[in-house]
Amino acid sequence: MHETHARMAGKVCIVTGAASGIGRAIARRLAREGARVVLADIASEPIEGGTPTLEQILQDGGEADFVPTDVGSTAQVESLVAQTVERHGRLDVLVNNACIRHARPLLELDEADWQRLIDVNLGGAYRCSRAAVRQMIEQAPVDEVRGRIVNISSQHGIIAAPGDLGYGVTKAGIAYMTRQIAADYAPHQIVCNAVAPGKIQTGQGGRALDPVVMDRAIRRTPWPRLGRPEDVAEAVLFLASSEARFITGAELMVDGGWTAA
What are the percentages of helix, strand and coil residues in the chain, rounded to 5? 45, 15, 40
Cα 205 off chain centre by: 20
d(CA 113, CA 130) in angstroms, rounded, equals 24
Query: 251, 175 in Cβ contact below 8 A?
Result: yes
Element (H, E) at 40: strand 36-41
Instruction: Give catalytic status of residue 167 as yes or no.
Output: yes
DSSP reduced 3-state for 232: helix
How many residues are present in the chain?
A: 261
Distance CA 54, CA 121 (A): 23
CA atoms within 13 A on the CB side of 67: 25
Q: How far apart are alpha carbons 5 and 176 in whole angstroms?
A: 34
181 residue type, one letter: I
Is the separation of the CB atoms in 20 and 206 below 8 Å?
no
Point out the catalytic residue in the list 126, 167, 176, 185.
Answer: 167
SS3 state at 148: strand
Q: Look up residue 125 and give its amino acid.
A: A
List active site positions: 167
